[in-house]
Structure 1
Amino acid sequence: MEKHMKKIIFGLWLLLGVQAAMAQTPEVALFRLDQVRLSPSPFLNAQQVDMTYMKAMEVDRLLAPYMLEAGVDWAADRYPNWENTGLDGHIGGHYLSALAMMYASTGDAEMKRRMDYMVEQLAMAQAKNGNGYVGGIPGGMAMWEEIGQGEIDAGGFSLNQKWVPLYNIHKIYAGLRDAYLIGGNAQAKEVLLDLTDWFYELTKGLTDEQFQQMLVSEHGGLNEVFADVAAITGEAKYLELAKKMSHEWLLEPLEEQEDKLTGMHANTQIPKVIGFQRVAQEGDLAEWQEAADFFWHTVVENRTVAIGGNSVREHFHPEDDFSPMVSSNQGPETCNTYNMLRLSEQLFMSNPQAEYVDFFERGLYNHILSSQHPEKGGFVYFTPMRPEHYRVYSQPQQGFWCCVGSGLENHAKYGEFIYAHSEEELYINLFIPSELNWEEKGMVLTQTNNFPEEPQSVFTFEMDKARKMPVKLRYPSWVAEGALQVSVNGRPFEVNASPSSYITINRKWKDGDRLEVKLPMEMQWEQLPDGSDWGAFVYGPIVLAAMEGSDDMPGLFADDSRMGHVASGRMIPLSETPVLLAEGTRPADLAVPSSHPLQFELAAVDARENSFTLRPFYQVHDARYQIYWPVSKPDQVAARRKAIGAKDEVMLALERATVDQVATGEQQPESDHFFKGQHTLSGNTDGYFWRSTSDWFSYELKNPNGEGKKLRLVFPARVEGNPFEILINGALFQEVVLKDQEGVSQEVDYVLPEALQDEEKLVVEFRAKEGQSTERIYDVRLMK
């Protein structure tokens, strides 16, 4: 018990997890958020904008799903969007975490008041339920009873016909944990433990096979939370529950150092791996630690773009083909980077290497900081890498996507990874203006800078008494070998380290000591990971982008529609993309410094305009932009444009002819079209997502203005030949029997009768016959 109390005091909170480091590795922890205060910088501004957004949200509406499910008389209505269409309550959990983080980061009394109020009301709902359960899932009590009895029907984003209920309930577990460990709310601990005991009792009769069947459905980081509960209580049963809630389908290939991520839903997997790491920390499982580290390296090195994000349309695409990344309007998802940064922190605590911080810094400046509007607030779901496209921002009363939930947290916890410590050592990780109060050492450290505009930082020590202490200062990967300069009290300090490592300054620090570091930055040209002739300009750790106008950006601030998080405005054809002209010149040399800090003028561009100005991407808002640029020799521009535009023109023509479309087997497209079904399967084969069923499944397609004239379905070229039926709005539409065709897929168009063409909503249902599976369906599209 003493061991666990020490961990909690030493910094067990949220994303950091307990500092229980792996055997034979240093014990490193992060400081509590209330020990670090931000100073003026873009990060402090983002924190304040986030708090304003949080105060605009109505706590009672966020609580409504929990209270109404418990049968509590509650006046407030649920929020719209994802909060009243099946994922009810998930934002409430994120919001509780964000309140705890923001209160710890700022000391703001309103944040504490709201946090305490939420915990009180959740405790009331839990007491009304009478069994320890509290959740906002519509009809959740009956569903959980089915699960407890072993009746499990799991799909990738459904469980017993509910929209990812395990993922949903993970958010309130995490919120309660954070309210206790970060916000200091003791009642949250009691609600958390009662909720954990409820789940433990519910599932204790399930076999290991039934657990794994249940985990087919997206379940967030429940294994992480249960490992945290084990650390809080010291009870082994919760660690065993955490192990049972760890998905072997993902874990086993990672233990074998095998990358089988292509086609997987990215943000389903990353929280699982955070959980593997937490279980490794608590259970001293070296093989799970290695699996998590292998995953991190695989994603960071092979599947990540310049801003630190990954995935297209929420899924990992082939690591040797990043063409979807530059063609899709659904680029890296903010939630993915939120979780990859959390994983980086966890791995750092077990093995404090600078490479984890290098990646963290890249993602923090270029994806997380850029994902919130710096003046109006609002959070970004997808950040397209498609040239000349744009992002969409949420509004506090309308958009309730997953990235709103993680976004509320992102900008409330910027102080968490600037510094770290062991029992005796201080780690300086990030160059963000801030003040650290290390009470145990009688030390206040103030970091002052105008980074990245000025590539240096100064650290001033206030000590209650002189103390000998190793200070480990990060040598960033982006500073050249031998270029880093360090001085202590104006005297040069010999740097005997290399990029992506730490310099150790071991001396007796006195009150008033001054540590200064100069961080020369260079321009780098960073190609896409597949080695194709597309690249981004990166200056030091800062990704640069060009602003390219603000025409035709519908939904810039999204409404509450199910697809409102997607930037659906016109996609500029890739054949019109500005091309860099480079022959005998490094692309990096085409960016010429201007008179403004961190701004560069692009030379030698074949485009509609004569010049482009590059600036930090986190400063680009309310505009179309370009991060990635194709490169060509001057005499090959026409051929280059033709090559990058050929496939794109086909896609754009198809989009223009489409009224509504469902990418089957992909989570958000299916959820946004109100997927329902029983005994269905989904997967990815040869790069195609698909869904089939031995019973039935359906989608709801929109047909505004009666534009839809035919239904186009895409199937594999090689089929089973089993008969199945298509129903529309409950009536038989087609009986289907397919034959093999040449190629990799086959398209079939079915003309809608005139009566259906006038319907504004078409519920398309696929129904198996005689217990035989339907064909695998790749795509469902309503065409003009």
Structure 2
Amino acid sequence: MNIRFLYSLFIVLLGTSVTAQMQSFDLKDVRLKDGPFKNAQDVDFKYIMDLNPDKLLAPYLLDAGIPPKSNRYGNWESIGLDGHIAGHYLSALSMMYAATGKIELKNRLDYMLSELENCQQKNGNGYVGGIPQGKVFWDRIHNGDIDGSSFGLNNTWVPIYNIHKLFAGLNDAYRYTGSEKAKTILIKLGDWFIVLIRPLSDEQIEKILKTEHGGINESFADLYTITKNKKYLETAERLSHKAFLNPLLKKEDKLTGLHANTQIPKVIGFEKIATLSGNKEWSSAVDFFWDNVTQKRTVAFGGNSVSEHFNPTNDFSGMLKSNEGPETCNSYNMERLSKALFLHKNDVKYIDFYERTLYNHILSSQHLVKGGFVYFTPIRPNHYRVYSQPQTSMWCCVGSGLENHTKYGELIYTHLDDALFVNLFIPSVLNWKEKEMVLEQTTKFPYENNSQFVLKLKKPQTFALNIRYPKWAENFEILLNGKVQKIELTPSGYSTISRKWKDGDVLTIQFKTATHLENLPDGSNWSAFVNGPIVLAAKTSTENLDGLFADDSRMGHVAKGKYIPLDKAYALVGEKSDYVSKLKELGNMRFSLDSLELEPFFEVHDSRYQMYFQTYSKDEYNKKQALLKQQEIEAMAVEAKTVDKINCGEQQPEVDHLYKGEKSNSGYDDGKFWRNTRSYIYYQMLNKNTQGKFLDISVLDEVKMNDIAIFINEKPADVIGVEKKSIRINIDKIEVVNIKITAKNGNASPKFYQLRIIKN
């Protein structure tokens, strides 16, 4: 028997060493056993089945001129992103069917595909979509009439992002279920899109790609993989956003202030194109992006961004203060990117990140009993999360949430030729049909630090079984049929046993984990407790959990309950070396910390919580707490007198306030987002119960009233004050405030960064 530690994997072809291609198993080859992940899968299955396919299909039938069988869903599905959930739903049905084999999922998928096929045939040109007034919109694009901003293309809410979900759903239906109908619809849709953009110049394509467009480049790379027709790979390259790619090629960090989940899908596309074309420069750019996001912009539980945007790498204070912490869609896509990189590069660092994010963000983003998906996960101490509901919530994180919990089996095991790799310790059964082998993994990790593997073979076989040795595991041991193997082990790699295996062989691993404090990436004094790969948090209260289960309001995904001042949060005071030693183990991954009880964050629901704690020496505690208290008093005072506000240039606040505009640009300067125009911008604000008296408009540069005109409800605004960087408008007794700002004589307006209705 040969036992060795595997540092890296190489094959030799024609005398040249190249990295071998790791292979994943199909979802249908892996079945989850009882545990947190199987529970999450079961809860997701119920949510999937609670959705009405006819409601999801209604936008597509309406656009094709076919009477719908049901009214469409409300919320985001009826205010501009009509049809986007249906694309995610195709993916979720396909992957859940592969992961469970439940025929009702396949039946529903087939029904959805038949209805989409009918719509495509009725349209007659390969197009199928649910975008409002889609035919008019696409004709404008085909004719080169393009006016785009970050989230609006010709005043349509992210239409290419929307149709990308359909591309991805059709691809998944073919990939996971072998549906030829899905493949046919997909190819026709792809061919229609190629014809659509054929007349456009590269400059016009870049103008289109300025607006969030999902991973449309990946979709055409997938079409190339399916058909081997080079026109699809050429289109994928053409639809790759060069203005974003070029700084990555130069290893320049230009991410701060960018909308995070606009960028990550682009990079997934870059990675796939680089792999298919052998483009090493693009591959290097992808590496730079992944390293930057995971090492400099990611918090302990695996998430990134604040209010959907990448925050400065040297200042996470905005995230700590916000109720709009990391977005689940970001982690969904970073997991997809990490999976692709792991399979192509065989580097365990990608699994380390994947595992941390899987346990702590993805698993926690679904209510473990009642169901419902989380959009924002605040790290603000003593705040909480909001959960979607099947009939009221149609957010992007519902779409990706439907998918997240279907595919837990995708990376537990991989293989390289005859070598089998165990990457994650999740109770499951692998059926490797080609090798006539079944491997059953039994574990209660993270509650118990061991895992057992039992082999079932029709006849003895010689192969290498590789067990991941995580960097967080201590005293790692391997037992073969009950006997400890005396081998030298090094963490962050694989321990390999190569032998002739027989039916009934049992391999057991056991290890220890320890709790440590992990600082925020900016080096500030905020730290989280982490045990092994598991982030710990404490439930702190259940007061004012307003909107815990979301209604159908546009911003129902945000936890709008009152803020608990940051100076009221629990802090760690004393010598830093003592913080962890004060923890007392209670069993079952519970720890007491004075009056608090820490537990795995993925188990924290229906409660306010604290994940990050400030650390102080005894000498600095009083001084710094006093400063923090004063800052909180000032911030709370501003919010208390605010009736409504818009942060210009940010997607959710702008869409929530019905943004429209022409010849408008947005950006990020000096820590603030902004929007300006050479034509007009428009918002609608609500002055609830006419509490507000004034509308304050703030700019980044300088107000020049000769260059702009402001209208309230189509009448010239009653401007009562102008300063260098602010304008005050009287809105007394106006409840619905429609604001239109126009630029005069084609001059650029100032950079507006905030509109705020205040009481006095």
Give the shorter-chain TM-score range.
over 0.9
Among 568, 571, 574, the alignment partner of 2:560 is 568
Letter in 2 for 1:762: V
Letter in 2 for 1:780: L
Indicate yes or no: 2:189 matched with 1:195: yes
Letter in 2 for 1:533: N
How much has 1:419 moved relative to structure 2? 0.8
Give the Cα–Cα distance (whole angstroms) in 1 for the partners of residues 588 and 326 of structure 2.
Answer: 28
How much has 1:23 moved relative to structure 2? 9.3
Among 684, 689, 713, the alignment partner of 2:697 is 713
Q: Is the 8 A contact 2:717 2:729 kept in 1?
A: no
State TM-score, norm by structure 1: 0.93
Indicate yes or no: 2:430 matched with 1:436: yes
Give the Cα–Cα distance (whole angstroms) in 2 for the partners of residues 323 and 584 of structure 1.
Answer: 21
Pairwise CA RMSD of aligned residues?
A: 1.5
Give the Cα–Cα distance (whole angstroms) in 2 for the partners of residues 127 and 371 of structure 1.
Answer: 38
Indicate yes or no: 2:64 matched with 1:70: yes
DSSP-derived class of the 1:111 partner:
helix
Q: Is the 8 A contact 1:722 1:774 kept in 2?
A: no
Instruction: Give the structure 2 partner of residue 578 of structure 1.
Output: 570
Give the Cα–Cα distance (whole angstroms) in 1 for the partners of residues 455 and 694 of structure 2.
Answer: 71
Instruction: Give the structure 2 partner of residue 352 of structure 1.
Output: 346
Which sits farther off after the overlay, 630-639 or 171-180? 630-639
**Deviation digits for residues 222-276 of structure 1, max 9, x if unmatched?**
1111101001000000000000111111111111222111000000000000000
How much has 1:735 moved relative to structure 2? 6.7
Instruction: Give the structure 2 partner of residue 339 of structure 1.
Output: 333
Give the Cα–Cα distance (whole angstroms) in 2 for the partners of residues 126 and 565 of structure 1.
Answer: 33
Instruction: Give the structure 1 partner of residue 169 of structure 2.
Output: 175
Q: 1:736 to 1:112 in 2, by over 3 A?
A: farther
Instruction: Give the structure 1 partner of residue 508 of structure 2.
Output: 516
Instruction: Give the structure 1 partner of residue 476 of structure 2.
Output: 484
Query: Which runs of no fewer than 5 residues in structure 1 stay unpaired?
Result: 1-21, 604-610
How much has 1:736 moved relative to structure 2? 10
Give the Cα–Cα distance (whole angstroms) in 2 for the partners of residues 318 and 81 of structure 1.
Answer: 32
Q: 1:282 to 1:380 in 2, by over 3 A?
A: same
Give the Cα–Cα distance (whole angstroms) in 1 for the partners of residues 489 and 655 of structure 2.
Answer: 50
Among 390, 395, 406, the alignment partner of 2:400 is 406
Give the Cα–Cα distance (whole angstroms) in 2 for the partners of residues 291 and 586 of structure 1.
Answer: 42
Instruction: Give the structure 1 partner of residue 450 of structure 2.
Output: 456
Indicate yes or no: 2:682 matched with 1:698: yes
Query: Which runs of no fewer than 5 residues in structure 2 stay unpaired?
Result: 1-15
Q: How does 1:82-93 map to 2 (within 5 A)?
A: 82-93=76-87
Instruction: Give the structure 2 partner of residue 600 of structure 1.
Output: 591
DSSP-derived class of the 2:577 partner:
coil
DSSP-derived class of the 1:749 partner:
strand
Among 747, 750, 756, the alignment partner of 1:781 is 756
Instruction: Give the structure 2 partner of residue 591 of structure 1.
Output: 583
How much has 1:586 moved relative to structure 2? 3.8
Instruction: Give the structure 2 partner of residue 8 of structure 1.
Output: none
Q: How does 1:612-691 map to 2 (within 5 A)?
A: 612-691=596-675
Instruction: Give the structure 1 partner of residue 746 of structure 2.
Output: 771
Among 308, 311, 335, the alignment partner of 1:314 is 308
Q: How does 1:101-112 map to 2 (within 5 A)?
A: 101-112=95-106
Indicate yes or no: 2:551 matched with 1:559: yes
Letter in 2 for 1:679: K
DSSP-derived class of the 1:332 partner:
coil
Letter in 2 for 1:363: T
How much has 1:497 moved relative to structure 2? 3.9
How much has 1:717 moved relative to structure 2? 4.6
Q: How does 1:184-223 map to 2 (within 5 A)?
A: 184-223=178-217
**Deviation digits for residues 623-665 of structure 1, max 9, x if unmatched?**
0000000011234322221233333332222111111111100
Indicate yes or no: 2:356 matched with 1:377: no
DSSP-derived class of the 2:292 partner:
helix
The number of residue pairs the alignment matches comes to 744
Q: Is the 8 A contact 1:722 1:737 kept in 2?
A: no
How much has 1:142 moved relative to structure 2? 1.1
DSSP-derived class of the 1:416 partner:
coil
Q: How does 1:274-289 map to 2 (within 5 A)?
A: 274-289=268-283
Letter in 2 for 1:400: M
Give the Cα–Cα distance (whole angstroms) in 2 for the partners of residues 95 and 420 of structure 1.
Answer: 26
Give the Cα–Cα distance (whole angstroms) in 2 for the partners of residues 420 and 195 of structure 1.
Answer: 33
Letter in 2 for 1:357: I
How much has 1:498 moved relative to structure 2? 2.3
Give the Cα–Cα distance (whole angstroms) in 2 for the partners of residues 288 and 429 of structure 1.
Answer: 27
How much has 1:437 moved relative to structure 2? 0.5
**Deviation digits for residues 572-608 of structure 1, max 9, x if unmatched?**
00111111112263422232212x31011114xxxxx
Give the Cα–Cα distance (whole angstroms) in 2 for the partners of residues 489 and 101 of structure 1.
Answer: 35
How much has 1:25 moved relative to structure 2? 1.9
Instruction: Give the structure 1 partner of residue 411 of structure 2.
Output: 417
Identity of aligned residues (%): 50
Letter in 2 for 1:778: Y
Q: Is the 8 A contact 2:720 2:730 kept in 1?
A: no
Indicate yes or no: 2:134 matched with 1:140: yes
State TM-score, norm by structure 2: 0.96
Instruction: Give the structure 1 partner of residue 540 of structure 2.
Output: 548
**Deviation digits for residues 106-151 of structure 1, max 9, x if unmatched?**
1111111110100000000000111100111001111111111111
Letter in 2 for 1:601: S
DSSP-derived class of the 1:137 partner:
coil
Q: Is the 8 A contact 1:724 1:737 kept in 2?
A: no
DSSP-derived class of the 1:264 partner:
coil
Q: 1:241 to 1:554 in 2, by over 3 A?
A: same
Instruction: Give the structure 2 partner of residue 499 of structure 1.
Output: 491
How much has 1:707 moved relative to structure 2? 1.1
Q: 1:584 to 1:693 in 2, by over 3 A?
A: closer
Give the Cα–Cα distance (whole angstroms) in 1 for the partners of residues 206 and 721 of structure 2.
Answer: 34
Give the Cα–Cα distance (whole angstroms) in 1 for the partners of residues 754 and 403 of structure 2.
Answer: 35
